[in-house]
Amino acid sequence: MITTFSYYLNTESSLFHKYQNQIKYALLVALVGFAILLISCDDNQEAEESVSQDTVSVSAPIRDVVVASNSETNEHTVFVLSAQLFECHKPSVWNVERVGDLINIEVFNLQPVELPNNCKESLSTTQNEINIGSNFEIGNTYTVVVNGFTKAFIAGGDNLKTIDVAKQEILEEEEEFLNEVVVVPQLPAINVAVISNTIDANWDFEKRRVEVIVLVTTKSEEPVEGLVVEVSLVGPVGPDIQSLTAKEMTSENGIANFDAILDKDGSYMFSVEYITGRGVTFNKDIGESYIQIDIGD
């Protein structure tokens, strides 16, 4: 009886060890498979995040440029108020390149390569403090161009601000700009590309006044209402060159009107910089983006 029971126990124990090894092997295979699955998921997630985070640098809209200097060190600083027009725009780096008396500055925003659907129009600004060095000869005229926005200054001249005054001026300009309320008609988004199809000018020579008309259309020449057109007027060419900006909204016939008093003779350049609103994209390479304006002898 005892011998039979002992044999039974040995048989059961042998079977138990046999199945135990099979169970261990099955668990090992399952764990390896689970680990491979986790690694694969992580790789896919990282790949998706990498794609979603791909960005591209775009030129930032410029709202104001102030040149300041330190009279003791002759160090010059350019204060730039740049803007971000969409929620997915982030302020980025700038690049400075000098050729003789011309200092060209490019200020960038970052945006996703593919704009997401939830990237809504949203206005914000950034103050950029850009040092351009001290290699300036007192009395000479220099020109700073920031993303097409031009500002001339005379080294050691009266038109230069101190650092503190320039900082305060930029702060005031930023506050004024952000407090501007643009009343946009309740028009639906159209999500198409638009162009400045026609730019024309009317003159009042006695008052030295010029009115510039900008017609905004789709590529198929359909006028678009309710878009904000932002322009710059740069001139006259020479040491007194200045850059002025303005923005107006297109009427029902797609026209935005601008006017200016040109108090100095010379050549001016009127340029359409941005067209925004209603989900449109502005194609500056097609159509007419600028017109030269000459006044005086």
Whether the Cβ atoms of residue 61 and residue 273 lie closer than 8 Å to each other: yes
pLDDT in tens, 215-245: 999 999 999 999 999 998 888 877 777 778 8
Residues 242 and 151: their CA atoms lie apart, in Å, by: 6
- What is the C-alpha to C-alpha distance for residues 248 and 175, in angstroms, rounded to an integer? 20
Model confidence pLDDT, tens digit, residues 30-63: 555 555 555 554 544 443 444 345 888 888 888 8
- Amino acid type, 62: I
Tokens of residue 25, six digits: 């092997």
Q: At which residue do the structure tokens 């510039």 appear?
A: 212
3-state SS, residue 159: coil
CATH topology for 193-295 is Immunoglobulin-like (2.60.40)
Residues 6 or more apart whose CB falls under 8 angstroms from that of 83 comprise: 60, 61, 62, 63, 123, 124, 125, 126, 177
**Domain locations in the chain as residue ranges:** 56-179, 193-295
SS3 224: coil
pLDDT in tens, the chain (297 residues): 444 434 443 444 454 455 555 555 555 555 555 555 555 545 444 434 443 458 888 888 888 899 999 988 999 999 999 988 888 889 999 999 999 999 999 999 998 887 777 887 778 899 999 999 999 999 999 999 998 888 888 898 877 889 899 889 899 888 887 776 554 456 888 889 999 999 999 888 777 888 999 999 999 999 999 999 999 888 887 777 777 888 889 999 999 999 888 878 888 899 999 999 888 999 988 989 999 988 876
The gap between the terminal CA atoms of the chain, to the nearest Å, is: 132
What is the pTM assigned to this prediction? 0.52
